[in-house]
């Protein structure tokens, strides 16, 4: 009997991550869910056990990724619980308050820490483990906001843009070890994270977004725009000259 695929999801209580967890459960993966809220984690775990294939093995672990010095120990405990890791999905993030980030660095630092440095603090020990094992797949949720700075969210976008570059280097480093790294560039999703934002036809829905995430990680794709339509839109946005960009309210407005 083949060993169960060992999957860890960081930020597992987000709507998108929870949907992805259920997809892994349905194919019988062994799941370890990590996030800040123990009660919400158990709710996601319960759903995975209920909807999973056969006797789905699901464990949970509460951790605050913003406590950067603790993240190596968090990863070590994950590896111990699962006896190794086959698939990683890093799904945590926060838009934060753009206006607060402009008024003082104290408003910007948490956005940078949650969306960039806390992810790196997890990826360093994860990459070392998987490189030594010479196998595995890593998927990290970033954002289309990281492809071009816009006034409405440029602090968040800067963190995601830095993460995109970090993942490019990590992907090439781990290539020879047989470890894939997939950058998951999400467009806006209809979720609690975008509560209060005006929704339009380009907003993704969590179940469909989660399916695309799992497919991209399975395929070992280097980058994936999700929903896929952003793969056609963003290259155009990136090519717009700055002088023109600044005059187009739908791009440069708040």
Stretches where the chain sits below pLDDT 50 are: 1
Q: Please choose, from the candidates 88, 197, 187, 195, the residue with its C-alpha nearest in 3D space to the C-alpha of residue 143.
A: 187
Give tens-digit pLDDT for 90-120: 999 999 999 999 999 999 999 999 999 999 9
Can you give the pLDDT at residue 45? Answer: 96
CB neighbours of 193 closer than 8 A, spacing ≥ 6?
14, 15, 93, 94, 95
Domains of the chain with CATH codes: 6-252 (3.40.50.720)
CA-to-CA distance for 237 and 232, rounded, in angstroms?
A: 9
What is residue 196's predicted lDDT score, i.e. its pLDDT?
Answer: 55
CB contact at 8 A, 6 and 29? yes
pLDDT tens per residue, range 200-240: 567 789 999 999 999 999 999 999 999 999 999 999 999 99
């Amino acid at each position: 009997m083949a060993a169960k695929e060992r999957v860890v999801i960081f930020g597992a209580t987000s709507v998108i991550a929870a949907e992805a967890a259920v997809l892994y459960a349905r194919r019988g993966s062994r799941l370890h869910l990590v996030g800040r809220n123990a009660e919400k984690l158990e709710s996601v775990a319960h759903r995975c056990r209920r909807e999973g294939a056969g006797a789905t093995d699901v464990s949970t672990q509460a951790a605050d990724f913003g406590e950067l010095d603790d993240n190596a120990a968090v990863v070590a405990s994950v590896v111990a619980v699962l006896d190794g890791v086959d698939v990683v999905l890093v799904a945590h993030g926060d838009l934060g308050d753009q206006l607060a980030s402009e008024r003082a660095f104290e408003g910007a630092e948490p956005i940078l820490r949650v969306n960039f440095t806390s992810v790196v603090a997890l990826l360093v020990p994860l990459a070392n483990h998987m490189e030594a094992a010479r196998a595995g797949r890593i998927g990290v949720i970033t954002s289309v906001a990281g492809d071009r700075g816009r006034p409405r969210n440029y602090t968040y976008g800067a963190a995601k843009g830095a993460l995109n570059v970090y993942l490019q280097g990590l992907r090439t480093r781990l290539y020879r070890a047989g470890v894939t790294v997939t950058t998951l560039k999400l467009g806006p999703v209809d979720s609690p994270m975008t509560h209060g934002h005006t929704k339009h036809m380009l907003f993704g829905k969590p179940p469909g977004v989660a399916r695309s995430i799992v497919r991209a990680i399975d395929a070992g794709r280097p980058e994936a725009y999700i929903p896929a339509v952003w793969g056609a839109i963003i290259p155009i946005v990136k090519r717009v000259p700055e002088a023109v960009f600044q005059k187009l309210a739908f791009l440069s407005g708040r």
